[in-house]
Amino acid sequence: MAMQRKANVRLPPEVNRILYIRNLPYKITAEEMYDIFGKYGAIRQVRIGNTPETRGTAFVVYEDIFDAKNACDHLSGFNVCNRYLVVLYYQPTKAFKKIDQEKKKDELDKMKYKYGLNT
């Protein structure tokens, strides 16, 4: 019965199994992440940012897309250690857009230098 309900539901295109979480406390552990996000379904993986650029962020990968949607709906704005979580769906096109722009700019600069163009 539950499988029939899930089969008839249409999800928006940005919904996927991977959640991107921002505004996390720096000292949060993976066990605490499992406690918070595990209430909404089976979790395959939790990755917490550990470099200066990625501190306070994490990725949570669920086994089921509906569990990820439920967690995103309920945990966005959830208060953890006086910080409100920002829970988004991971979108690879947006994640690599900045890197791609930087590569294109570098290539353009090399071409300008190669052909002696100063603009």
CATH number given to 18-115 = 3.30.70.330
Token pair belonging to 84: 């409100």
Q: Which single residue is written with the structure tokens 């008839």?
A: 8
Residue 110 has pLDDT above 70, yes or no: yes
Residue 1 has pLDDT above 60, yes or no: no
pLDDT category at 108 given cuts 50, 70, 90 is: confident
CA-based max dimension of the chain: 69
d(CA 64, CA 119): 51
pLDDT tens track for 25-51: 999 999 999 999 999 999 999 999 999
Give the pLDDT mean for 61-68: 94
- Asked whether 60 and 43 are in contact (CB, 8 A), the reply is yes
